[in-house]
Chains A and B, each alone.
Chain A
Amino acid sequence: MSVVILLMIMSIVVAGIFLVAYLWSAKSGQFDDPDAHANRILQDTELVNKSK
Chain B
Amino acid sequence: MSKETNLPVLESPKEKTNGFSVCYHCGAQTRRPLVKHEHEFCCSGCLGVYEIIEKNNLCEYYNFNQTPGVNLDQYEEKTYKFDFLENQEIINQLIKFKSGSQIHLDFYLPQVHCSSCLYLLENLYQIQSGVISSKLNFSRKELSVVFDSEQISAKKIAEFLTKLGYEPYFSLSDLGDKKGITNPSKSRIYKLGVAGFAFGNIMLLSFPEYFAYGTDLDGLKPYFQWIILGLIVPVMTYSSTEFYKLAWGGLKQRYLNIDLPIVLAMMITFFRSLYEVFTHTGPGYFDSLSGIVFFMLLGRILQDRTYKSITFNRDFTSYFPISSTLFKEGKEVTVPIVNIAVNDELIIHDQEIVPVDGLLVSGKALIDYSFVTGESKPVELEAGSWIYAGGRQLGASVRVLSQKTVSQSYLVSLWNKNDQKEQKTPTIESTYVQKASMYFTLVLFSIAATAAIYWGMNDPSKIWSAVTAVLIVACPCALLLSVTFTHGHILSLLARHGFYLKSARVIERMNQIKHIVFDKTGTLTQSQDPLIQYVGLSLSEIEVDAIASISRESTHPFGRSLAKKLNRIPLDVEFVENVAGQGMLGSCDGMKVRLGSSEFLKVSEGQLAELTSPIKEEDKDTLKGSSIWVEIDGRVRGVYLFSSAIRSQLSESIDQLGKEYKLSLLSGDNSREESVIRGIFPSNTQVLFEQKPHDKRTFIEQLENAGVKTMMVGDGLNDAGALMSSSIGVAVTEDISYFTVGSDAIVLGSALKKLPQFFKVARDMRRIIWWSFVISILYNIVGLSFAVQGELNPIIAAILMPSSSISIVLFTWLTSMISARKLKD
Interface of A toward B, CB cutoff 8 Å: 1, 4-5, 8, 11-12, 15-16, 18-19, 22-23, 26-27, 31-36, 38-40, 42-44, 47-48, 51-52
Contacting A at CB under 8 A, from B118-162, are 118-119, 122-123, 126, 136-140
User: A35-B5, A39-B115 are known contacts. Are A15 and B205 too (CB-CB below 8 A)?
Assistant: no
User: A5-B220, A12-B227 are known contacts. Are A47 and B60 too (CB-CB below 8 A)?
Assistant: yes
User: A12-B227, A26-B186 are known contacts. Are A35 and B217 too (CB-CB below 8 A)?
Assistant: no
Q: List, in ascending order, chain B residues with CB within 8 A of A26's CB.
A: 186, 189-190, 193
Q: List, in ascending order, chain B residues with CB within 8 A of A32's CB.
A: 137, 183, 186
Q: List, in ascending order, chain B residues with CB within 8 A of A19's CB.
A: 193-194, 197
Taking A32-B183, A33-B140, A39-B118 as given, write out 7 further A-B residue pairs in contact, using a Cβ cutoff of 8 Å, ordered by the A residue number.
A8-B227, A15-B197, A23-B194, A35-B139, A36-B136, A36-B138, A40-B122
**Is B423 an interface residue when CB atoms closer than 8 A count as contact?**
no
In the assembled complex, the Cα of A33 lies from the Cα of B309 at a distance in Å of 11
User: A39-B7, A42-B115 are known contacts. Are A5 and B223 too (CB-CB below 8 A)?
Assistant: yes
Nearest B residue to A18 via CB reads B197
Q: List, in ascending order, chain A residues with CB within 8 A of B79's CB.
A: none
A43–B60 contact, CB under 8 A? Answer: yes
User: A22-B193, A42-B115, A48-B58 are known contacts. Are A33 and B137 too (CB-CB below 8 A)?
Assistant: yes
Closest Cβ of chain A: how far from B51's Cβ, in Å?
16
Q: List, in ascending order, chain B residues with CB within 8 A of A38's CB.
A: 6-7
Which of B123, B197, B205 is most buried by chain A, counting CB atoms within 10 A of its CB? B197
By the criterion of a CB under 8 Å from any partner CB, how many residues of chain B are at the interface? 37
**Is B330 an interface residue when CB atoms closer than 8 A count as contact?**
no
**Is B56 an interface residue when CB atoms closer than 8 A count as contact?**
yes
Q: List, in ascending order, chain A residues with CB within 8 A of B223's CB.
A: 5, 8
B118–A51 contact, CB under 8 A? Answer: no
Closest Cβ of chain B: how far from A38's Cβ, in Å?
8
A11–B204 contact, CB under 8 A? Answer: yes
In the assembled complex, the Cα of A15 lies from the Cα of B220 at a distance in Å of 21
Closest Cβ of chain B: how far from A18's Cβ, in Å?
8
**Is B219 an interface residue when CB atoms closer than 8 A count as contact?**
yes
A51–B220 contact, CB under 8 A? Answer: no
A48–B220 contact, CB under 8 A? Answer: no
**Is B675 an interface residue when CB atoms closer than 8 A count as contact?**
no
Q: List, in ascending order, chain B residues with CB within 8 A of A34's CB.
A: 5, 139
Q: List, in ascending order, chain A residues with CB within 8 A of B460's CB.
A: none
Q: List, in ascending order, chain B residues with CB within 8 A of A15's CB.
A: 197, 200-201
In the assembled complex, the Cα of A1 lies from the Cα of B126 at a distance in Å of 62
B5–A23 contact, CB under 8 A? Answer: no
In the assembled complex, the Cα of A42 lies from the Cα of B220 at a distance in Å of 51
In the assembled complex, the Cα of A33 lies from the Cα of B56 at a distance in Å of 27
**Is B224 an interface residue when CB atoms closer than 8 A count as contact?**
yes
Q: List, in ascending order, chain A residues with CB within 8 A of B200's CB.
A: 15
Closest Cβ of chain A: how far from B558's Cβ, in Å?
38
Nearest A residue to B189 via CB reads A26
Q: List, in ascending order, chain A residues with CB within 8 A of B126's CB.
A: 48, 51-52
In the assembled complex, the Cα of A52 lies from the Cα of B57 at a distance in Å of 9
Shortest Cβ-Cβ A-B pairs, 6 listed: A51-B57, A36-B138, A39-B115, A35-B138, A19-B197, A22-B193
Closest Cβ of chain B: how far from A41's Cβ, in Å?
11
A35–B60 contact, CB under 8 A? Answer: no
B190–A23 contact, CB under 8 A? Answer: yes
